[in-house]
Chain A
Amino acid sequence: MAHQVSVVKPGEPPIYHHIDPDNAYHAAKLGMWLFLATEILLFAVLFAAFAIYNWAYFSEFQSASLNLDWKLGALNTAVLLISSYTAAVAVYKAQTNSNKGVVLNFGFSILCGLIFLVVKYIEYSAKYEHGYFPGTELWNSEAFPSKYKNYFGLYYTMTGLHALHVVIGMGILSWVVLLALRQRFSSKYYTPVELAALYWHLVDLIWIFLFPLLYLID
């Protein structure tokens, strides 16, 4: 059998022998939405766990949540919303044949992701200094209420898993930026730009629920 060499022309969709470019685009997008559905359910169980414990230990959760800084949470909400906006604009830029636009807009989204992580680091280290972090002296002492451990355990799990998604999202956006630098996209082919943006929006979507539930409700 002859070795198949795939030639990818800038701006043209990849050539598959079993599927035409239009079908490939729709199949890829459908697959992405199936993945997003599983992501929604992954976070759904964590929200459910939070609801159950919030119900059971209402007053402890109330006082524990007062240790979170709502200003930093609100700042991060704004940062993610703006990064989602530029990610959406990047898709438009690809659809209108501007690879430079993809690089600039996704680049800005990656920068916002970095700002988000820095703010998250400031929040986590403040918790660490106050001793509200697994392994600190206060956390391990008898004086530390066990129900606070429940609250902060859920807080770190939910925001930590979300932050992991931010890191992965930054990686995916960087990969698309590299492709855009090689003039890979055009109005004929922008599937990776759109799917990467979808992933980034999902990260934003989850934070939209995390912010009020963790920082604002009492």
Chain B
Amino acid sequence: MAENIITPKTFFKVLLILLVLTVLTVLLSPRVSGDWIHLGRASIAVALTIAFLKASLVLGYFMHLKFEGVWIWVYFLSSVFLLGILILGLYIDNPMRFDPEKPQIQAVN
């Protein structure tokens, strides 16, 4: 039954990378370390990129996804696809939202 056994040695390497990435995301956080490399608003993108990198490592190795067959990928990717639609919808919808406190159409007297 055992097809692709990942050894603890590989898991340990992945753990070390994950911990290094955690330290990195803390070091790059303007709130914690001060904005020493002037990321500004891009800090959100940097933090999320590191989070996606960490998630890929957990999914790929700890959760064996790298060695799984096509059907498990179909199930996993369908949830990612729906998540993508949700995020895409948010990014289209949110900037176009009507804010009653800031009327975009001025009343003509």
Which residues on A are within 8 Å of B, measured CB to CB? 21-22, 25-26, 29-30, 33-34, 36-38, 40-41, 44-45, 48, 51-52, 55, 65-66, 70, 74, 77-78, 81-82, 84-85, 87-89, 92, 95-96, 187-190, 194, 197-198, 201-202, 204-205, 208-209, 211-213, 215-218
Contact = CB atoms under 8 A, between A and B. Distances in A.
16 contacts: A30-B72, A38-B79, A41-B82, A44-B86, A66-B31, A81-B15, A85-B12, A88-B62, A89-B8, A95-B2, A96-B5, A187-B1, A205-B55, A208-B51, A212-B48, A216-B26
A1 to B, nearest CB: 32
A205 B80 CA distance: 14
Interface of B: 1-2, 5-8, 11-12, 14-15, 18-19, 22, 25-26, 29-32, 43-44, 47-48, 50-51, 54-55, 58-59, 61-64, 69, 71-72, 75-76, 78-80, 82-83, 86-87, 90, 94
Nearest to B30: A218
A37 to B, nearest CB: 4
Contacts of B44: 217
A21 B31 contact: no
B47 A216 contact: yes
Given A30-B71, A70-B31, A82-B15, A21 B1 contact: yes
B22 A88 contact: no
Nearest to B89: A48
Contacts of B75: 30, 33-34, 37
A217 B29 contact: yes
Contacts of A88: 6, 8, 11, 61-62
Contacts of A92: 5-8, 11
Contact of B29 (A25, A188, A212): A212
The 7 closest A-B pairs by CB, nearest first: A37-B79, A216-B29, A212-B47, A85-B15, A218-B31, A88-B62, A33-B75
Contacts of A89: 8, 11
A70 B28 CA distance: 13
B47 to A, nearest CB: 4
B76 A70 contact: no
B40 to A, nearest CB: 11
Contact of A216 (B31, B62, B69, B78): B31
